[in-house]
Amino acid sequence: MANVAVIGAQWGDEGKGKVVDWLASRADVVVRFQGGHNAGHTLVVGDQTYKLSLLPSGLVRGKLGVIGNGVVVDPDALLSEIARVTAQGLKVTPETLRIAENAVLILPLHPALDKAREEARGAAKIGTTGRGIGPAYEDKVARRAIRVADLAEPETLSHKLDELLLHYNTLLRGLGVAPFEKQALLDGLLKLAPQILPFAEPVWERLDELRRSGKRILFEGAQAVMLDVDHGTYPFVTSSNTVAATASSGAGVGPNAVGFVLGIAKAYSTRVGSGPFPTELSDEIGQLLGDRGHEFGTVTGRRRRCGWFDAALVRQAIKVSGIQGLALTKLDVLDGLKELKICIGYRIDGAFSRHLPAAPGAQAAAVPEYETMEGWSGSSRGARSWADLPARAVKYVRRIEELVEAPVTLVSTSPERDDTIMVRDPFEG
């Protein structure tokens, strides 16, 4: 049996939560390996709806959850999320959740700087959630970050706060924001320490033991490939690498342990925040997709921009992330549309391109070139086999497979966990 890595193949919000939940029922452990509480997964289980940002989705299924070293952890947000899901009946204890001792912490000064810089950008805003994710990753690279393990060493915390405040208070003053006081930050961290440290361990060792004993590991990605800090629509991206290769470095396992890479894509396209979106629809069809798909960000609450399926962009995501199979979600949202369009590439200054270029100006200038298909009149909602789908819906899925150059291995036809068509079991490799 193979391990499985699940990643978004568009700009995020593809319905990864449902797919991970569906797969988690047959996994032994679910691992978050990058991002922070700027990514949200919504899981619908019976009459309960769980909104998770930091906690691995497998906890909903009673599976061991692991937060890897590639995640930046806001301890206050984590404890609030634990309290919220505990009130919903979930059990989150050091026996069910482990946190990498070398994961970086988000402190109150991180969102303060994040918001101040975004405000200073004015009309050139990136669209950050303002939760301090970017500044925390900056500290990690600059080697001044406070990590989970540091909570056990008050003297280490004190020295590191000196360095952090030298950096942050200088920047905050320049942006017109009041500086932070060291003692308040130190007291806050020392108060949090006994609540966080019981979850901490070298998770790389636990994952190695699980892998060697034949346990199934599900690696749960956040955001999506087109928000990757290297491969996405830079600078309108997140601050971490979101491609499948990060599952290895962000969890502390070898590349050979990652296994089957499953990409998630909606049957249309959405994006939250700023940045290029070639297939965006600002007409009644875009409004219809947003209404039917309930397109509001789990974390931000902002309405998502909607557009036609971009096969050129998904193909690009598949190539750079090594996606071996595609899970297509929200097919039912397209029910009843007379005509559907799929972007097959872009016209940029008159020349045709099958990929979105790296330069921001060229990205903004990209004009989608479409292939038009007939829609279907029947309903795909709740379908659990190919035979349940309208013939033209099957044709649409098959055409997507051809254009993205990867097989569709799962099709989701509603938010309900069991409304899924499985073509190939990812755990079979």
- Average pLDDT over every residue of 30-55: 83
Torsion-angle region of residue 5: left (phi > 0), alpha (psi -120 to 50) or beta? Answer: beta
Task: Give Cα separations from 167 to 125, 137, 322, 325 (angstroms).
Answer: 23, 14, 38, 44
In this predicted structure, the answer to whether residue 45 has a pLDDT above a threshold of 80 is no
Cβ within 8 Å of residue 243, ≥6 positions away:
7, 225, 228, 230, 231, 320, 321, 322
Query: Please, which pLDDT band fits residue 44 given cuts at 50, 70 and 90?
Result: confident
- Give the span between the Cα atoms of 123 and 399, in whole angstroms: 39
The CATH number of domain 265-428, selected from 3.90.170.10, 3.40.50.920, 3.40.50.970, 2.60.40.1180: 3.90.170.10
Say if residues 127 and 274 touch (Cβ distance below 8 Å).
yes
Query: Please, which pLDDT band fits residue 17 given cuts at 50, 70 and 90?
Result: confident
- Give the span between the Cα atoms of 406 and 398, in whole angstroms: 10
- Give the span between the Cα atoms of 43 and 90, in whole angstroms: 13
- Give the span between the Cα atoms of 195 and 396, in whole angstroms: 50
Say if residues 39 and 57 touch (Cβ distance below 8 Å).
no
pLDDT reported for residue 163: 94
Question: Which residue, 162, 169, 107, 118, is CA-closest to 140?
Answer: 107
* Tens-place pLDDT, residues 290-339: 999 888 765 556 688 999 999 999 999 999 999 999 999 999 999 999 99
Cβ within 8 Å of residue 391, ≥6 positions away:
376
Residue 404 corresponds to which amino acid? Answer: V
- Give the span between the Cα atoms of 253 and 266, in whole angstroms: 29
pLDDT reported for residue 304: 87
Cβ within 8 Å of residue 287, ≥6 positions away:
306
Cβ within 8 Å of residue 329, ≥6 positions away:
14, 15, 18, 19, 264, 265, 266, 267, 411, 412
Cβ within 8 Å of residue 274, ≥6 positions away:
125, 126, 127, 236
Domain 4-100+200-260, CATH homologous superfamily name and number: Adenylosuccinate Synthetase, subunit A, domain 1 (3.40.440.10)
pLDDT reported for residue 299: 57
DSSP state, 57? G
In this predicted structure, the answer to whether residue 42 has a pLDDT above a threshold of 80 is no
Q: In what order do the strands lie in the sheet with 408-412?
A: 200-201, 97-100, 64-67, 29-32, 217-220, 4-8, 260-266, 325-329, 408-412, 420-422
Task: Give Cα separations from 270 to 161, 199, 221, 238, 295 (angstroms).
Answer: 40, 36, 18, 16, 8
Q: Which CATH class is domain 104-196?
A: mainly alpha
pLDDT reported for residue 13: 86
* Tens-place pLDDT, residues 324-380: 999 999 999 999 999 999 999 999 998 999 999 999 999 999 999 999 999 999 899
* Tens-place pLDDT, residues 79-131: 999 999 999 988 899 999 999 999 999 999 999 988 988 888 887 777 778 89
Query: Which helix or strand (DSSP H or E) is residue 95 part of?
Result: none
pLDDT reported for residue 301: 60
- What is the overall mean pLDDT for the chain? 92
262 vs 122, residue with greater confidence = 262
DSSP state, 181? P
Question: Which residue, 400, 343, 338, is CA-closest to 375?
Answer: 338
- Give the span between the Cα atoms of 318 and 308, in whole angstroms: 18
- Residues with active-site annotation: 13, 41
269 CB-contact burial (10 Å; exposed 0-12 / middle 13-18 / buried 19+): buried
Residue 204 corresponds to which amino acid? Answer: W
Report the SS3 class of residue 132: coil
* Tens-place pLDDT, residues 127-149: 778 899 999 999 999 999 999 99
Domain ranges in the chain are 4-100+200-260, 104-196, 265-428
